[in-house]
Structure formats: C-alpha cells, structure tokens
Structure 1
C-alpha cells in the first residue's frame, strides 16, 4: 500500500461546486499564491544583485543558466520521488528548504556582495523547486478531478500571475529603497507561509492506492518509463519537441527585459518591477480565458495561436523604447504563455495514468528544459555583443516558425 494521502474519490471531488468553495483546493490555491508572490521577489532581486555587483547581462544570463541546469538535473530524479512518497509531505519539505536557502542570502549580503553565494543558492533552490513543481502537477488532478483540470490550472495560473503583478512591483520598490537583498528575505518568508497552508491540505487517494506499489526501478529506468510514454503518445511527443525549442529560445527573456530597461533605456529598479508586474497582467488574462478558448477553438488552435503570439511579442521587445511599450509586449508574451502552458499541462494531466504522472511529468520537463540553460546563456551573450533588438528579433521569429511547424504535427489535429 502506498502511504500518506487521504481517502476520497479522485474522479469527481466535491461534486460540481465552484472550485473556490472546495476547502482543500482553496487552501492549496492560497499556498501557491503565497509561494509565487515570494518567487516574484526573487525573479527581480537575484538578477538585480548580479547586475549591481558586476554590471554584466552575460553574468545575469549565466546565473539563470546555472539555475536552469540544476532544475533539469533535478527533473531526472523528481518523478521517481514524487510517484513513491507522500506528496503533501514532499511539498511542505520543499517549501521549508527553499525558505532556509533564500534566507541565507540577505544575512550574508549584509556583510558585502558575495556573487559565489548566488551561484550556490539558486541552483539548489531551482533543484528543490523542480521536485515541488512535479509534485504540484500530480496533486491538482486529485483535488479537482480530470474534468475540471483546465479550469483549475487556469485559476491557479491566474492568481499566481496576480501575485506576480504585486510581487515585481513591490520587489522593485523594496530593491530601490533598501537594496535587492531585502527582497530575497520576503521570498524566504513566503515559502514559510506556503508550507503552513500546505500542512492543512487533505489530499485524496491516488487512483490505484489500494493496489500493491510497483517494483522500484532505478532512476534511469523510471526516466525511461516516462520517456517511453511520451514517445508512444503522438501528441505529447510533438509537444515535447516543440517546447524544447521554445524553452531554448525564451528561457533568458526575463534577463533580456531587465537588461534592456536598465542598460538600453536607463531606467531604475522601480521601472523593472513596474514592467514585469504589468506584464504579468497578460498571464492573468490568458489563464482566466484559457478554458473558454480551448472549448471554442480546440487544443491545437489554442496552443499554436498562443505560441505564435509569444513569438511576435518577443520579436518586438528589443525595439520597444518606452516603459509602456515594453510592458505591453511583455503582457502579450505572457498571455500567450498562459494559454499555451495551461493547455499543455492540462492535456498531460488528462491523458497520463495516475501511477505514471510523476515520472511522465519529470521526463517531459527534463526533455523540454534540457537545452534551456544554454539558450539563456546564448541569448544574453548575444544581447551584450550585438544588442537586445537583434537578439530578441531572432528569438521571436524562430518562435513563430515553431508555431507554424506545429501545423504539420498532431498538435493541429488535437
């Protein structure tokens, strides 16, 4: 018997009541919002710490790349762990570990900049965050049932983005008043609050929890199990390949926007927070509309159109010469990410058997993000060498080509 999850029907929990009135989903929803609120502080503060200490966008990109590489490596192991442990306990532990790690940064920074610390803490936090992310994906279906996954994911992403509106704005202001290190302290506190909320969530039994657990394989065997499922599912196979390219092209876009605002346009940290906060409004719009868009147009049209929109917005970011223009294009890009990302996540949750969901998610993200760290380093290096406009234009145009390529794959027919 697998242990730790509470009993209850996974197929249709709490009937047809609104999701916000379902206790466990509502508490889980609050925990995620708190966690993302804190993460949005780190999203601003860590690049600002590097830029403040070095003045180099390439060093910013390198930090992003190192963190991304750690997440990819952790994804190899995450599915194996998530499918075999108490998922709620795993989520709480991940939050507490990140609280401790991020809490070290402001304490050490009080005695002077230590760039090496960022290159140590961020990879560890990103690795732990990958375990959390895989566990998070597997938990949602048990909370709301298969039929409401797109709705639930849309709500979770929308409120996460709402926290992202407030978070970057506050982070930019805190960074401007007291320095970026203080913003990291807020991030640490948010993980503590999230852990408390998650302790109150009652997870329902997984499908198959009344059956003996499968024989434990090695990490390599578990990863191959997840990869094999993706390979034999035509739609997931196509999505994995397309998202591999998309992640490579756009993983470093946040660093590019910050560099463009501060270096090219000469704005301060407050403007950075304002732009990223305003851009997150796009994620809210996309996440709230995704269920309706998917019902009206189908998965294929929704995913392809949203990805093409991301490419067009990315292409224009480098040439935007005012804060409102950068904010507007960021909103468009993130709206596209909200629609495409929620669609692909929900589809994967819908079609994957429960006992494989952790391993398939792990394999999916390992493959999707395996080249993303190199892409972030390349994008920021290109921006420093040739300027943000050609770097953003190249990345955006290639994203549009990826969306057009999807027209000749099973994605279009989905």
Structure 2
C-alpha cells in the first residue's frame, strides 16, 4: 500500500483513538475536580451546541481551503484544547469554567475535523492507488479497533496516572494525527472539479452554505442515505446509552454492560474487514441489503431483551451489519457528493449525526420512565423498521452501481443552477 492511504488511515486511527480515550477520561476527571455529576453534564451540554454549529458552518471553510490543511488544523485545535487543561491545572488549578471553555474550543475542531477527513477521501482514492471499497472497509475496521482499545486504554491510564496527566496523552494522539496527515503531499488535498481543474473560491459564505443544503436536501439519494444513517445512530445510541444500562441494572448485572460494546466493536471489525477484502465483488445492492436486514435482525434481538447472552449476540450482529453498511455508504459518498461541495454537505450530515444521540436518549428516557424499558426498546426497534421499509422501497437506492452516479450528478447540476 502506498504512503498516502497509510498516512491517512494511521491519522484516522489515532484521531479516533484519542477521542475514544477522552470520551471516557474527561467526564471522570470533571467528576474528580468538581465532585459533581451535574458538572460533567454541564460540560457535555455546553459543548454540544457549538459542536453542531461548527459542523454546519465550517463546511464552507473546508470547501475553500486545501483539504489536507483543514484536516491538520482541526487536529491541532483538538490537541491544543485538550493540552490546555493539564497546563492550567499545573499553573492555577482546574475549575468547571475551564472545562467548559476548552470543551467549547475543542468542539470547534471535532466535527469539522471529522468532515475534513471525510472530504479528503476521494483524493486518497485518486492518489493512493487503492479501491474505495478497500479504503472504506479498512477505515471501518480501524474505527472498531479504536472502539475496542479506547475505553480499556482510558481505564488503564486513569489508574496509572493522575487524572489531568492522562489528558497530555490524549492531546498527543491528536498531535500525532496531524503530523501523520502532513505526510500526505499538499497537492493531494487540493479541491478539483470533475474535469481535474482547480475549483475557485466564488460567492459569499452564506450563499455557498445555502447551495450545499439545496444539493443535500433536493437529492433523493442523499436524503435517503442520511435518513438511514440518522435512524441507525439514534437507535444504537439510545440502546447503548439508556436502554441497556437500565436493563443490566434490572437484572443485577451492571458489570456486563461493557461487554456489549466489545461485541459491537468485534462485529464492526469483522464487517469492515470483510468489506475491505470482498467489497468489489458482487452487486452493491446485495451488500446494501445484507447491512440493512442484518441491522434489523440485530436491533430486533436487542430490543426483545431476551437474555444477557442473546443481547451480546444481537450487538455482534448489529456491529457486523454496521461494518458492511457503513463501508458501502462511505463508498457511495465518495462517488456521489460533488467534490467542491463535500465540506458543506458532509459537514451538515456530521452535525445532524452529532445532534441525534442526545435527542434519542432523552426520548428513550421519557418512554422508559412512563412505559417501561421493554416498551422503549420496542419503540426504538419500530423506528428502525420504518427506516428499513423506506430503504427497501426507495427508488434512489435500487441502483447503487457506479453507472448510476451520472444520473445523480445531473440532478445536482440542475439544483445548483436553481
């Protein structure tokens, strides 16, 4: 494999691993410093809205500058915001205000960083001599590795080191991700049109943002794929963040909850690896159906809450199906999102996916409180069933082969000229 995809994938893994460690360690450190669960909730709430807004608005910037540059800058912002916390702790001591301040600054790098890295994918395929199916399959598998290693690494580090010291390590992963991205030649990140010409910076930022939203919401293909991804995120986050913790508490086995994440990540690892090896074989519709129907089976098993071991099996099936489905969706996004609008469109998608989990968890909490955990689990399964029906019935998802890209591009051109 050439240097370009290796550097990209290594950077992706380190960035994701750092976020995974921080996601576990940071709330624990806030609790240690403030002694208040409300403090940890305040930090999470204060950073959520800026993260979503940054995802929506920074897409315009990502569409105006070199994609490699934007990826490096966002990783550096993330590294600096995390490293600032232990530095402040050394100088004056931490308080809730410092966590909120640097959490907001860090959120300006998180979703835009995800978008910048996603926007760079077509260039990695073009210059890296790697099939998009293989690249996306490996990327999905690496995401599973980060999901497996991150919580374990966070727990180990919190035992071995002082809380704020752990943040130096998470900051170092973001810094290393930025340095690895610098190994990708600068010209690889240049924004080019379909004919290979460089894309100019025309129009106001707000006008460009509106154009991106028009293309996203007027493309039946993009609306349907975004809807399916949104439904998956809501259902999975609600099951993992609320339904299963309540269930394992009721059966008096709360320590088993972590194994659900392990089963999910193991399934994703196998699914992503399978797609990387065999994704170019067979019709894409078959891969699509395997991911969609497999997710339905897995969500159905979990929602039934039959027994602890069957819940683990359901989580594995969901992970396996997500590995296939996520890899295919990544390939389709590479092919069908216009190059010069990739930041705006993917930034909007990533912002929606960032906002969705808290909304789903709150809705599941209300249902659990008033109707019981079983009713809430069934309601979540019903949400995915609706998504399944939409996915199977949608004409825009019937032909997923590369020869269907031109038809979607024609629609995009018409919309842009509206």
TM-score exceeds 0.5: yes
Q: Within 5 Å, which residues of 2 pair with 1:11-410?
A: 21-46=1-26, 48=28, 67-105=47-85, 118-145=99-126, 148-175=131-158, 183-203=166-186, 204=188, 205-208=190-193, 210-211=197-198, 213-219=200-206, 221-256=207-242, 259-260=245-246, 263-264=249-250, 265=252, 267=254, 275-291=260-276, 295=280, 298-317=283-302, 319=305, 322=308, 327-367=312-352, 371-380=356-365, 382-383=367-368, 388-409=373-394, 410=396
- What is the rounded CA distance, in whole Å, between the counterparts of 2:238 and 2:209 in structure 1? 26
In structure 2, relative to structure 1, the CA distance for the partners of 1:258 and 1:336 (3 Å cut) is: same
Count of residue pairs brought into register by the alignment: 388
In structure 2, relative to structure 1, the CA distance for the partners of 1:47 and 1:312 (3 Å cut) is: farther
Deviation at 1:192, TM superposition (A): 1.7
- What is the rounded CA distance, in whole Å, between the counterparts of 2:288 and 2:377 in structure 1? 21
Deviation at 1:401, TM superposition (A): 2.6
Question: Contact conserved, 1:248 with 1:372, CA < 8 A, in 2?
Answer: yes
Question: Contact conserved, 2:301 with 2:310, CA < 8 A, in 1?
Answer: no
Question: Contact conserved, 2:263 with 2:319, CA < 8 A, in 1?
Answer: no
Please give the TM-score of this superposition, normalised by the length of structure 1. 0.78
Deviation at 1:279, TM superposition (A): 2.8
Which whole-Å deviations, capped at 9, do the CAs of 1:323-342 have from their partners, x for residues lacking one?
A: x6555443332322222222
Which whole-Å deviations, capped at 9, do the CAs of 1:373-414 have from their partners, x for residues lacking one?
A: 422333345556766544333223321331122111122443
Unaligned 5+ segments in structure 2 are 401-418
- What is the rounded CA distance, in whole Å, between the counterparts of 1:184 and 1:325 in structure 2? 37
Unaligned 5+ segments in structure 1 are 1-20
Between 1:123-132 and 1:45-54, the stretch displaced more is: 45-54
In structure 2, relative to structure 1, the CA distance for the partners of 1:225 and 1:83 (3 Å cut) is: same
Question: Contact conserved, 2:245 with 2:254, CA < 8 A, in 1?
Answer: no
